[in-house]
Amino acid sequence: MLTPEQRERTEVLAISSDGPDEHRLMIDWVAEEFDGYRIDYTLLSDPGAAIINRYGLFNVDDPRGRAIPHPTTYVIDRDGRVHWKFTEVDYRVRPEHDDILGALAELDTR
């Protein structure tokens, strides 16, 4: 769990090739599937996959041929340096919360 100080200094962003309409559908689906949970972080659109490609995350093996990235989590400091990264080609595999929190805690010691 983040401390109040960490929460104040931490920003969560999600980026996908989906546009605002698809984001709205996902937000509504999450709320329906998870007892009204509301996504409380910023969703960014990258419809041309410029950022996705810049980070080398484009999933060229997507069977639908969509410009979707491999699921990835970064911990980036305020200077733009990547301190921790998790990328997985299987969209069902995500990083453990403790791993992300540990990476965030390490930023506090720098």
Write the DSSP assignment of 35-59 as a string of letters.
TT----SEEEE-TT-HHHHHTT-B-
pLDDT at 1 exceeding the cut of 70:
no
pLDDT given at position 27: 93
pLDDT band at 106 (very low <50, low <70, confident <90, very high): confident
pLDDT at 66 exceeding the cut of 80:
no
pTM higher than the cut 0.85: no
pLDDT band at 22 (very low <50, low <70, confident <90, very high): very high
- At 72, phi and psi to the nearest 5? -140, 145
Residue-wise pLDDT tens digits, 84-102: 999 988 878 999 989 998 8
* Topology (CATH level 3) of domain 4-108: Glutaredoxin (3.40.30)
Q: Where are the domains of the chain?
A: 4-108
